[in-house]
Chain A
């Protein structure tokens, strides 16, 4: 199980989202699929319909930004800390 921490901004769309959640999956994509089953529609906020990470969203594994923003194939090991963050951008 990975420990996934969410930006608080996502609470607006998913009010029951905890600060941190245990999620099973071997890649970031698998974590996201699991989260989408738990919170229907969740992945649409994080990736587009091609599965690419949205431009202004960041995902970190072990505090490092993921490498594969196209398919989210970055590996996740049990106990890893994963952060889903809103990128520093806006206007």
Chain B
């Protein structure tokens, strides 16, 4: 159970420590600079912050002394010749893309959206999910990063665009999260590494779905069977899904959890098949983050929001829902959370669990922490910057 939690915010990285039963914040790191994601490598404690500086571009910083000092890590760069198929920014005046000739754009890093740490069987290996949809891997603890070309060149993205024209249809849609960066491109926001074998990992793409490799990234396959969407003519399409966040239970890695645009889904067979387990009647359906218990595959937490149309807390109050039976039923917990005039949105990386502790942060700068598995809550801060990610060390 962790005594330290990192918050990536619009104005820097906040670290809260638990000492003598009290949680308190250190002075903010990277003051004034937007941080899209911050986490500690469980293998060696190195802290990472993904800088999302609007002026000076996306960059990575790391701390090898538990957050006392930070240094620049190598920038992630798309290699020369990396291209993607251009997608039109959704516009109600342009209803139909069909028949439009395929056009390409050169790829440049817009944002590092998430980091995924390999296990102890692969020291120094870290994966970075980015906009515009490339997965990068370092094998030397962040000294150098390499684009995963088999995924970038996957048939679901049009094939090898380094080599020439598209040879297949692009199935990866853009994510609205990219619009602030001036384009409509896909993004990789989830990296879930199998703790039994670091060559086996899942990534999740907005907007495409979940993709899996079992050979360390040499080959990839979509694994979206059982997924349902509410916005395409074919609800069981192989692609076109909108996972908001995907994670797995480290103690039972065949169990995956997915908060999707179209509900909460789970898989008991390593993403062989997904099952929708949300319960709109219990207000558990739409939301962005999901956290899995480290040991018990049947336990997960979500912070639901009111519908994809409105994206705000339900009836003005915040609550956390927990299942302990694999999604068959959900319990809602409100004690210690505001229950009126509350409009908080919880981003996809802004909920985490560590043993009995659960923490989440909101776009309106509130952070809440529970030490009894989500049943009662205390406030860590009310006037924080907008919170992009929450991760226990």
Contacts and interface: CB of A to CB of B under 8 A. Distances in A.
Interface in A26-58: 41, 44-46, 48-50, 52, 54-57
Contact of A9 (B55, B78, B106, B109): B55
Given A41-B72, A50-B108, A55-B182, A13 B54 contact: no
Interface residues of A, number: 20
Contacts of A48: 57, 108-109
Interface string B291-320: 000000000000000000000000000000
A15 interface: no
B55 A50 contact: no
A16 interface: no
A18 B245 CA distance: 45
B146 to A, nearest CB: 13
B106 A50 contact: yes
A8 to B, nearest CB: 13
Given A41-B72, A44-B75, A49 B109 contact: yes
Contacts of A89: 54-55
A5 to B, nearest CB: 17
Contact of B108 (A9, A13, A49): A49
Contacts of A44: 57, 59, 75
Nearest to B79: A49
A49 B55 contact: no
Interface residues of B, number: 14
Given A45-B57, A86-B55, A52 B75 contact: no
Contacts of A55: 54, 182
A87 B77 contact: no
Nearest to B57: A54
Interface string B38-70: 000000000000000011110100000000000
Contacts of A90: 54-55
Interface string B127-157: 0000000000000000000000000000000
Interface string B72-86: 100101100000000
B91 to A, nearest CB: 21
Interface of A: 9-10, 13, 41, 44-46, 48-50, 52, 54-57, 86-87, 89-91
11 contacts: A9-B55, A13-B72, A41-B75, A44-B75, A45-B57, A48-B109, A49-B75, A50-B108, A54-B57, A56-B55, A57-B56
- The list of the 7 closest CB pairs from A to B, nearest first, reads A49-B77, A48-B108, A45-B56, A56-B55, A50-B108, A86-B55, A44-B75
Interface of B: 10, 54-57, 59, 72, 75, 77-78, 106, 108-109, 182
